[in-house]
Amino acid sequence: MAPSGAFGRRRLGVHGLRCPATVALMALVTACGYQAVYADGAGERLHVKVVRNLVVDAVAADEVAAGVRDELATGGWLEAGETFPRVEVEVLRGDEASEGIGVDVARTGPAARSTDVGLSARAWIVRSAGAAPERDTGDMRAEDTVAVDMTAGVENPTADAIHHADALRAAARRLGRMLAKRLVGAPGPSEDGVPARGRGMVRSTLPP
C-alpha cells in the first residue's frame, strides 16, 4: 500500500488536472477577501440617520448610529451628514435578563451574579426623499453581559449603574455594525445575522 502522503499527492494531481480553475479561484479568494453582495461599481456612499428611538438612553441610540458609520467607513461606503441616500435606523427596545441566579445568604433569597443587557434595532436604505425603503434588515439584537459589582460582599449600586451603561453602549455599537453588515451583504459570524425574534445573541463579558 502506498503511503498516505503519496496517495494524497496523486489525488491532488488528478484534481488539479481535472479542475485547473479551482486552484485559480482559491488563489483569487485568498488574495481579495470578501466583497459585499450589494457593492456597486458606482461607489455609492451612504449617510446615516436615526429616524426613531424608542429607548430611554439617547446615547445608546447614538452608539447604534456610530456602529453603522464605523462599518460603512470600513468598506468605503460612508458619507458625512444625514441627507440622501442614507441608512435610516430605528432603535426599538432595550431589555435585561438575570444570569447566574443563586441563593444569597445575606438577603435570604435568590440573587443574580450577572445581567444580560440587550438592545434591538433595525435599519434600511432610502435613496431620496419619499422613496420606498430598501434592504430592510428586520429586527436585530445584540447584548453584553455585565457582572454584578460586589464591594465587601455587598452589591455596589453606583458601580452597577456605570457598568450597566457601559454594557448597553457596547451592545449598541456592535448592533450598529451588525446592521450595516446586513445592509451591504457583508459576511460575518452566523449569530450576527439572526433576527431578534430568534433570540440571537452576541456576547462579550465585561470585567466587574
pLDDT (tens digit per residue) in 32-74: 544 554 544 356 899 999 999 999 989 999 999 999 999 999 9
Q: What is the mean pLDDT of the chain?
A: 73
Question: pTM score > 0.75 for this model?
Answer: no
What is the per-residue pLDDT for 97? 72
- In this structure, whether the domain defined by 43-206 belongs to CATH 3.30.160 is answered with yes
Name the more confident of 23 and 125: 125
What is the per-residue pLDDT for 165? 87
Encode pLDDT of 170-201 as tens digits: 999 999 999 999 999 887 554 444 444 433 33
Encode pLDDT of 112-124 as tens digits: 566 888 999 999 9
Name the more confident of 145 and 2: 145
What is the per-residue pLDDT for 191? 43
DSSP-derived secondary structure letter, 142: E
| Distance from C-alpha of 3 to C-alpha of 89, rounded to nearest angstrom | 59
The string over 171-192, giving b where at least 16 C-beta atoms fall within 10 Å of a residue's C-beta and e elsewhere, is bbbbbbbbbbbbbbebeeeeeb
**Percent of the chain surpassing pLDDT 90:** 43
What is the per-residue pLDDT for 44? 82
Encode pLDDT of 91-102 as tens digits: 999 987 766 555
Residue 208 to residues 106, 149, 163, 166, Cα–Cα distance (Å): 20, 6, 7, 11
Average pLDDT on 113-138 reads: 92
What is the per-residue pLDDT for 158? 76
Least reliable range by pLDDT among 5-9, 21-25, 51-55, 101-105: 5-9
Secondary-structure breakdown of the chain: helix, strand, coil percentages, each rounded to the nearest 5: 40, 30, 35
Q: Are 164 and 55 in contact (CB under 8 A)?
A: no
DSSP-derived secondary structure letter, 45: -
Average pLDDT on 142-150 reads: 78
Per-domain boundaries in the chain: 1-33, 43-206
